[in-house]
A and B are shown apart, each in its own frame.
Chain A
Amino acid sequence: MMIEILKTTTAKDWRELLAFPKKGIFSSFVLFDAQKDQRNTFYYQNESSKNEIVTPLLLNTHGAVVEEVPIHSLLVAPGGSVCFKANEALELAKKSEFIGTIMFIVRPENETFDTGAKDLLSVWETTKSYCQIGMAMFVNVNTPETVGKKSYFMYSPNVEISDTSSSRTVVINSSTDDKYNDSIECLPILENELGETLSGPSTIIPPFGSLVIDADEYFGAEGIKLLEKTNGRGTISISHKGHILSSMFFKIDKKNRTIVSGSHTQPPIGVIFPVVDRFAWIKWMVQYIPLAYLLTGIRRYFRA
């Protein structure tokens, strides 16, 4: 399926791409070293019934666009997909190494924007490992309407420091607002399984920038010592009020710092969800009482 380049935007003007009222963004992590066996590929498929315009762009950890990689806006028909091979793009740009993020900006060609069922598939691959993470789309994040009203409580659950492995947590400060200019201060806390904690250095993430926490290097010898008490395992948490950040965590091969596996984080507040059903007690009862599920017929009758 042919993908048509609609427009090329200069690095200076990239924020214009966020000025469209109907759009969504995806953010993910890019790790490139020309000397290392690690490939980064990102896929987006247009599952809507309308044409979409998709623009992938690379940002360094300071939030600046990689100027040497052209910013193409691509017209993607329904069912069509975009595959962005970050290694190839960075090699063409004569980069020897890069740590940062990729942002996919997706908008409709016309008025209607179907925001359901959209994922950015991120793949980090070596000859010995393969890791995929599906990242969900943000349609309204860190805008003037939401800043101050949202919170970011993150825990990275699989922190492990051993002779062969370490853990990397990536936190991304992005926005759907073209005028976004908020820097965010983050204080990562390392915790072992006993609940003993070590506060790491506080770091400021610039707008559209990212924070990469390699557990063994970020927390140093003290962090290694803390986790040694519990088999080298623990967690990292960050609490922040006012903004939403996206984050993911990885297991990395300690020798060559390549990604082995990973996942995106889950908001812990997901533990609480409202029971808006006044017949919730029936649901509880039918879990434990044989044949009580027949009562759900009575419940349906009352609902009707």
Chain B
Amino acid sequence: MFGPSAHPIFVKNMLPRKDHFFEYLFRNASSVGMISYYMRGARGWQTRVNIYNYFSLLSDSPISAKYEIRCYDRNGLIAKKIFGKLGPRSSHVVDLAQYNELDDFGVVRVYLNVDSNEYLLKNKSYGGVFFTEYYVPGSTQSIYAHSLGTPIAAHYDYSRLGTSLLVPDGFRPFLFIANGCAHNRFLHPTCGEAKITFINAKQKEISVSINPIPPLGCSMIDLFELCPELPNHIGTSIFAIRINGRNILSKPFMFQTKGNIGWGEHL
């Protein structure tokens, strides 16, 4: 089952179906997936989702995998589900530009699971480490980003400090921020709240609150529009962002663009 280069932790967590049949029946139930953000036309950028069968890499054996990609619109409603299978050591590049059902931007959630009739992952939640590539069609411009976190079916306080940030001269910063509450949406309140504090190199702070976000909803916030004093406050020096709030999906992602040039990094 496992090759000589198998990851020791992974080996410990693969169980044979014959000894764990009940868990096998519910093997998908604890899958929570991982998320990132997509752009489909926002500021002229498109998104590719790169998925890799790392179960095969970790086991050093020919394990197959299956995946589900859920794309949510900015209000947190599922706009598209995409399914696929991955053979051993194979990868898929799913270009979201081909799906007209999608919003201009939103959350993309990937579930990746072992596709085996004999084994299951032991008593764990399965994330889905994946990467996104944002690109401008017809150009070589692109931004690579890794998946960012997991929605949680709970309500929680959120606090995050992103340091060593920079807005280079001429760039305009946008912040992707989403609600990480995975509760069923029926009669559920709009529960994502955040206050964003910008701390400049002189340790001076400016704080602004954003509009509430529904579960798995997403905002693409133009930071210079949200906070008109921000360009003068941070200049082109290094600064930090602190986010305090409720039910915010970890981690927010900063996207900056100047014409066709862009870059992005999570907080």
Query: In this complex, what residue of A is CB-closest to B144?
Result: A263
B184 touches A289 (CB 8 A): yes
Q: Is B21 in contact with chain A by the CB < 8 A criterion?
A: no
Cα A121 to Cα B165 in complex, Å, equals: 7
Closest to B267 in A: A134
In the complex, A105 Cα to B126 Cα: how many Å? 35
Residue A291 lies at the interface, judged by CB distance under 8 Å to chain B: yes
List residues of B (54-77) whose CB comes within 8 Å of A's CBs: 54-58, 60
How would residues 128 to 151 of chain A score, 1 for a CB under 8 Å from any chain B CB and 0 otherwise?
A: 111111100000000000000001
Interface string of B160-184 (1 = CB under 8 A from A): 0111111010010000000000111
Bound Cα distance from A251 to B139, whole angstroms: 13
Q: With A121-B238, A129-B261, A260-B140 given, is the CB distance from A44 to B128 under 8 Å?
A: no
Contact A283 B54 (CB under 8 A): no
Whether B17 is near chain A, meaning CB under 8 Å from some CB there, is no
**Chain A residues with CB below 8 A from B164, complex form:** 43-45, 81, 119-121, 134
- Shortest Cβ gap from A255 to chain B (Å): 10
Whether the Cβ atoms of A130 and B87 lie closer than 8 Å is no
Say whether, besides A158-B50, A268-B54, A193 and B13 are in contact (CB < 8 Å).
no
In this complex, what residue of B is CB-closest to A284?
B29
Q: How many Å lie between the Cα of A266 and that of B146 in the bound state?
A: 7
Contacts of A288 in B (CB 8 A): 184
Shortest Cβ distance from A265 into B: residue: B146
B10 close to A272 (CB less than 8 A): yes
Contact A270/B184 with A47-B163, A151-B8 known, Cβ cut-off 8 Å: no
User: Given A79-B202, A121-B164, A195-B88, do A155 and B52 touch, yes or no (CB 8 Å)?
Assistant: yes
- Is B7 on the interface with A (CB-CB < 8 A)? yes
A118 contacts chain B at the CB level, 8 A cutoff: yes
A234 beta carbon closer than 8 Å to chain B: yes
Residues of A in contact with B, size category? 35 or more
On whether the beta carbons of A134 and B265 are closer than 8 Å, the reply is yes
A273 to B157, CA, bound (A): 21
Q: Among B90-98, B100-108, B206-214, B223-231, which stretch is in contact with chain A? A: B90-98
Q: Is the CB of A193 within 8 A of B92?
A: yes
Q: Inside 8 A of A251's CB, which chain B residues have their CB?
A: 140, 142, 144
Are A287 and B125 in contact, with the CB atoms below 8 A? no
What total of chain B residues lie within 8 Å of the partner, measured CB to CB? Answer: 76
Q: Is the CB of A290 within 8 A of B128?
A: no
> B50: which of A157, A231, A265 is its contact (CB, 8 Å)?
A157
Task: Assess A191 versus B91: contact at CB under 8 Å? Given A153-B7, A260-B141, A261-B263.
Answer: yes
Q: How far is the CB of A166 from chain B (nearest CB, A)?
A: 11
Instruction: Give the contacting residue for A283; candidates B141, B152, B202, B265; CB below 8 A.
Output: B152
> Which of A130, A261, A293 is the one whose CB lies under 8 Å from B153?
A293
Complex contacts, A129 vs chain B, CB 8 Å:
141, 261
Interface segment out of the listed A12-20, A177-185, A215-223, A235-243: A235-243
Any chain B CB within 8 A of the CB of A296?
Answer: yes
Do B163 and A45 touch (CB < 8 A)? yes
Whether A287 lies near B183 (C-beta < 8 A) is: yes
Q: How far is the CA of A5 from the CA of B17 in the complex (A)?
A: 62
* Contacts between chains A and B (CB distance < 8 A), count: 207
Verify B263–A132 contact, CB threshold 8 A.
yes
- Does A2 reach chain B (CB closer than 8 Å)? no
Contacts A45-B240, A155-B54, A157-B50 given: A132-B153 contact, CB under 8 Å? no
State how many angstroms separate the Cβ of A175 from the closest Cβ of chain B. 21
Residues of A102-140 whose CB lies within 8 A of B: 117-121, 123, 125, 128-134
Cα distance, A287 to B186, chains bound together (Å): 10
Find out whether the CB atom of B140 lies under 8 angstroms from the CB atom of A157: no
Q: Is B133 an interface residue (CB 8 A)?
A: yes
Instruction: Considering the complex, give the chain B residue whose CB is closest to the CB of A286.
Output: B153
Q: Is A247 an interface residue (CB 8 A)?
A: no
| Chain B nearest CB, measured from A36 CB (Å) | 16
Within 8 A of B (CB), among A47-86: 47, 78-81, 83
Q: Which residue of A lies closest to B112 (CB)?
A: A271
Which residues from B are CB-within-8-Å of A155?
52, 54, 57
Contact of A266 among B5, B10, B133, B147 (CB under 8 A): B147
A29 at the interface (CB under 8 A from B): no
Contact, CB under 8 Å: B129 / A268: yes
A193 touches B60 (CB 8 A): no
Proximity string of chain A (83-103) to chain B, C-beta cutoff 8 Å, 1 when within and 0 when not: 100000000000000000000
Please name 18 pairs of A and B residues whose Cβ atoms are closer than 8 Å in the assembled complex, sorted by A: A1-B201, A1-B202, A79-B201, A117-B161, A117-B162, A121-B165, A132-B265, A153-B58, A155-B54, A157-B91, A193-B92, A194-B90, A195-B87, A271-B126, A272-B9, A274-B124, A283-B153, A287-B182
